[in-house]
Amino acid sequence: MPKAVIEFEKPIVELEQKIDEMRQYSERLDISGEIKILEEKVEELRKAIYNGLTRWQKVQLARHPDRPYTLDYINTIMTDFVELHGDRCVRDDKAIVGGFARLEREIVMVIGHQKGRDTKSNLYRNFGMPNPEGYRKALRLMKLAAKFGKPIITMLDTPGAFPGLEAEERGQAESIARNLFEMSHLPVPIIVVIIGEGASGGALGIGVGDRILMMENTWYSVISPESCSSILWRSWDFKEQAAEALKLTAPDLLAQGIIDRIVPEPLGGAHRDPVQGAEILKGILLEELKKLRKVRIHKLIEKRIEKFGKMGEWEE
Amino acid sequence: MAWFRRSKASIETVPQRKETPDGMWSKCDGCGEIIHRKQLELQFFTCIKCNYHFRIGSKEYLTILVDEGSFKEMDRKMRSTDMLDFKDTKQYRDRIKDSIRKTGLNDAVRTGLGKINGIEVVVGAMDFSFIGGSMGSVVGEKVARAIDKARKSKRPLIIVSSSGGARMMEGALSLMQLAKTSARLAQLSDAEIPYISVMTDPTTGGVTASYAMLGDINIAEPGALIGFAGPRVIKQTIGKDLPEGFQRAEFQLEHGFVDMVVHRKEMKETITKLLRLIWE
C-alpha cells in the first residue's frame, strides 16, 4: 500500500482498500466471486487512469514520494557498490552519489542525484539539489572511470541545481558547463537514465552520454512547470498549462529526438512495484551496454558529439 | 459653491512635452547622467561619469571589436520555428515574428568571420533585445557552427555573451543547446585553438552554464551580472537580501571564475594582446 497518494490515484487506492477488507471477511464468508469482480474492475480503472494521464499528472508521478531513487536502483540491481565521496576541493555533496559497482558481469561507475524520503533525509540530501561540489565530485568519479576503462551510468532525478548564495560563489554555472564539456569527450561509454525529475541544467550536468534513456513516468525539460508558469504567466497557477506547453514527457522527448528509448514501468509507476521496475531497467541497461561495447572509442565520442549536434530545429 | 474662481487659465498647460529627437539622448542607469548619443558612441556606450556600461547589441559590439569592413556574417537567415507549438500568454511563433520586426534581427546571436587588429578570428555577439538573449535552437546551432568554423579554419574564437538563459519556448530542445555548444568547444579545445569568452550584462542561466564559462580566457565587463540562478530566485531561496555586488563581474573575479574585468574601451586591445601572446 503506498504511503502517499496523489489525487488521481485515489479511486484506485480506495478500491484496493475495499478488496483488502473483503479478503479479511472472506475467511468466514465465501465472497471470492465478488472479490474477483472488484479486482477486474480495479485493473480496468488502473489502465484507464494511467494511460490517460495529462503531462502535469506525469510530473506528479515523477515526484511521487514513494518513487525509487538512485540508491534504491543501485541496491536492487547492482552488487558490490562502493560509494566514493567528495570533490577533493570543498566537501562531499550529498545530493549526488556515486561509486563503482557490478551490474551482472559488467563493472560500472554509477552516479546519480539522490533525494531523501522524509524531512530529515531531505535536508541531508538538500532535496536532491546539488551544489557545484556535487557536479565536481561527479566529474572526478567519471574521470576515474575513464582511467580504468569502466563504462558510466548516470541517473537523473533533481528539481534543479541549488539556487543558493554559496552555490553561486563556488561557480554553479562553471561546474555544470565543465561537466558538459568533459562528458562530451570522455573515452568510455556513458548511459544516462532519467529516473524521476530532469530539471534543466541541474539534470543535464550529469546527463551527456551515448544513450539517453527515460523512464516512462518522468519529465525532462529546460525549466520546471511551476517556474515556467511564474515567469511566462507571471503567476504560479498555470503549472498544468506550462507542463502541456513544455512537452516534457518521455514520448514527447522521444519525438523531439532527445532521448533514445523509453524504459517501461510497472502499471501505475515504478513505485507500485519497485523491484519489477528496477529489473526492467537492468535488462535494458545490459542490452545497451553490450551495444556500446562494440563501438570503438574514438567513433563513440564522434557519434556522441554528433548526437547532441543534431538536436534542435530551425529554418534557413 | 466656490467663492473664488479663476477667471481664466493663467498658467498654460503644455499639451505635450516636446520629445527630444528620437534616441538622441540617453539616461545613464548608473548615475542618471543624460548623455548625447554621439558622445555615448565615442565612449563605447559607457558613461563618462560613472563608467556604467550600457547594454548594446551585436552590431554595436562588433563595430567596437572587429576591424572596419572585415566582418562577414554567417548563417544570417537562420530562424526559429515554433516546433513545440508553444503557447503561454502569446503563441511562440508570434513572439518570434514580433521580435524580428522590432529588432530587425533574426535571432539572439550574430556570428561571422572578421579581423581584430589584423588577426583573423571567428566572432559572435549576442543580442539581449531579442527575447532576452535567450538560447534556443538557432542560437545553439549558430554558436556551434561558429565553433566548427574556428576549428576548421584554424582561427581563434571570440564570443560576446549577453543572455537571460535558455529559451523556455523550445522546451528541452533549448536545454540540449548547452550540451551541443559545450561538446563543440571540447573539440575546439582538443584542436588547440583558443577561445576567449566575453561576458556582458547580463549573462545568466544556460549560456553561463555552457559556452560563456568555458573560455580558455574569461573576460567580464565591469558591473556585468554573471551567474547561474537569477538574483530574485536566490533571494527567495535563502530568504535574505543579497550582499552588495553579488554576482557582478568583480564578484566573479574575486571568486576565480573570470580572468579579468576589462572596460569596454580597452576590450579590443586586451583581446589583441592576448591573441598575440597565445596565438600569433
Query: Does residue B158 lie in a domain region?
Result: yes
- Note whether residue B94 is domain-resident: yes
Alpha carbon separation from A114 to A72, A121, A170, A276 (Å, rounded): 10, 10, 21, 20
Question: Is residue B36, in this structure, part of any structural domain at all?
Answer: yes
* % residues pLDDT > 90 (chain B): 88
The verdict on a CB contact (< 8 Å) between A314 and B137 is yes
Q: Which residues of A touch B95 (CB under 8 A)?
A: none
Q: What is the mean pLDDT of residues B68-74?
A: 98
**Rounded distance between C-alpha atoms, residue A308 and residue B68, angstroms:** 36
Q: Determine contact, residues A96/A112, Cβ cutoff 8 Å.
A: yes
Residues of A in contact with B189 (CB under 8 A): 181
Which of B84, B89, B176 faces A311 most closely, judged by CB atoms? Answer: B176
Distance of alpha carbon A254 from the chain centroid: 15
> Based on the domain organization, do B151 and B47 belong to the same domain?
no
Q: Are B100 and B142 in a shared domain? A: yes
How confident is residue B223, by pLDDT bands cut at 50, 70 and 90?
very high
| Domain boundary, last residue among B11, B39, B54 | B54
Q: Whose CA is closest to A157, among A115, A217, A214? A: A115
Say if CB B181 and CB A227 are below 8 A apart. Answer: no
Mean pLDDT score of chain B, rounded to an integer?
93
| Cβ pairs A/B, distance under 8 A | 201
- Rounded distance, CA B99 to CA B105, Å? 8
Share of chain B above pLDDT 70, in %: 92
Residue B177 and residue B218 in one domain = yes
Residue B132 resides in a domain = yes
What is the per-residue pLDDT across B54-69, written as a single tens digit (0 to 9) for each? 999 999 999 999 999 9
Looking at residue A213, its pLDDT comes to 98
Q: How far is B247 from chain A (nearest CA, A)?
A: 7
- Give the list of residues 6+ apart from residue B222 with CB closer than 8 angstroms, or none: B51, B53, B249, B250, B261, B262, B263
Q: How far apart are CA B118 and CA B71, in angstroms?
A: 12
Closest partner residue to B81 among A163, A184, A313, by Cβ?
A313
User: CA of B41, closest CA in chain A: separation in Å?
Assistant: 32
d(CA A135, nearest CA chain B) in Å: 12
Residue A312: list chain B partners with CB under 8 A. 136-138, 140-141, 170, 173, 176-177, 180
| Same domain as B81, residue B41 | no
Same domain, B31 and B124: no
C-alpha cell at B170: 523550445
What separation in angstroms does the CA of A192 have from each of A77, A109, A111, A261, B256? 16, 12, 10, 11, 31
| Pair (B31, B85) in one structural domain | no
User: Contact at 8 Å (CB) between B162 and A214?
Assistant: no
**Could you tell me the sign of the dihedral formed by the alpha carbons of A102, A104, A106, A111, in that order?**
negative
**What is the pLDDT, as a whole number, of residue B23?**
72
Q: Is B185 on the interface with A (CB under 8 A)?
A: yes
- Asked which of B6, B32, B54 is the last residue of a domain, the reply is B54
Which amino acid is it at A214? M
B210:A180 CB<8 A = yes
Q: Which residues pair with B217 in a beta bridge?
A: B196
Torsion, Cα A210 A256 A271 A22, to 10 degrees, reads -150
Q: Are A212 and A204 in contact (CB under 8 A)?
A: no
Q: Quote the CA–CA distance of B225 and B246 in Å, as a whole number.
A: 8
B141 touches chain A (CB under 8 A): yes
Domain ranges of chain A: 11-52, 58-310
What is the pLDDT at residue B22? 61
Q: What are the start-end ranges of the E strands in B57-183?
A: 72-74, 79-80, 109-116, 119-126, 157-163
- In the prediction, which pLDDT does A24 show? 83
Shared domain check, B188 and B82 = yes
Fold exhibited by the domain A58-310: 2-enoyl-CoA Hydratase; Chain A, domain 1 (3.90.226)
Rounded CA separation B196/B123 (Å): 10
ipTM of the complex: 0.95
| CB-based contact, B137 to chain A, within 8 Å | yes
* Stronger pLDDT, A134 or B3, i.e. the higher one: A134
Nearest by CB: B79 against A180, A204, A315: A315
- Same-domain check for residues B41 and B155: no
Q: For chain B, say whether A314 makes contact (Cβ under 8 Å).
A: yes
**Residue B244 belongs to a domain:** yes
Instruction: Indicate whether B15 pLDDT > 70.
Output: no
In a domain, B7, yes or no: no
Rounded Cα distance, A313 and A70, in Å: 33
| Min distance B21 CA to chain A CA atoms (Å) | 34
Domain that holds residue B105: 56-278
Whether B215 is covered by a domain: the verdict is yes
The packing angle between helices A239-246 and B171-190, to 10°, is 50
Structure confidence by residue, pLDDT tens digits, A35-90: 889 999 999 999 999 989 999 999 999 999 999 999 999 999 999 999 999 999 99
Contact of B111 with chain A, judged by CB distance below 8 Å, is answered with no
Rounded to a whole number, what is the distance in Å from the CA of A264 to chain B's nearest CA?
21
Whether B176 contacts chain A with CB within 8 A:
yes
User: How do residues B16-29 score in pLDDT, each as one tens digit?
Assistant: 544 455 678 999 99
Give B156-196 pLDDT, tens digit per residue.
999 999 999 999 999 999 999 999 999 999 999 999 999 99
Domain count, chain B: 2
Determine the average pLDDT of the residues in B226-251: 94
pLDDT for A1: 45
Secondary structure (H, E, C), chain A:
CCCCCCHHHHHHHHHHHHHHHHHHHCCCCCCHHHHHHHHHHHHHHHHHHHHCCCHHHHHHHHCCCCCCCHHHHHHHHCEEEEECCCCCCCCCCCCEEEEEEEECCEEEEEEEECCCCCHHHHHHHHHHCCCHHHHHHHHHHHHHHHHCCCCEEEEEEECCCCCCHHHHHCCHHHHHHHHHHHHCCCCCCEEEEEEEEEEHHHHHCCCCCCEEEEECCCEEECCCHHHHHHHHHCCHHHHHHHHHHHCCEHHHHHHCCCCCEEECCCCCCHHHCHHHHHHHHHHHHHHHHHHHHCCCHHHHHHHHHHHHHCCCCEEC
Mutant choice from B82, B93, B175 vs A, greatest count of A C-beta within 10 A: B175
A314 contacts B80? CB cut-off 8 A:
yes
Q: Are residues B44 and B61 in the same domain?
A: no
Q: Are residues B98 and B85 in the same domain?
A: yes
Residue B236 sits in the same domain as residue B259: yes
Q: What is the mean pLDDT of each run of 10 residues along chain A (316 residues)?
A: 78 90 81 87 91 95 96 98 97 98 97 97 98 98 98 98 97 98 98 98 98 98 96 94 97 98 95 96 98 97 98 96
Residues 49-108 of A with CB under 8 A from B: none
Q: β-strands A106-113, A96-103: how paired?
A: antiparallel
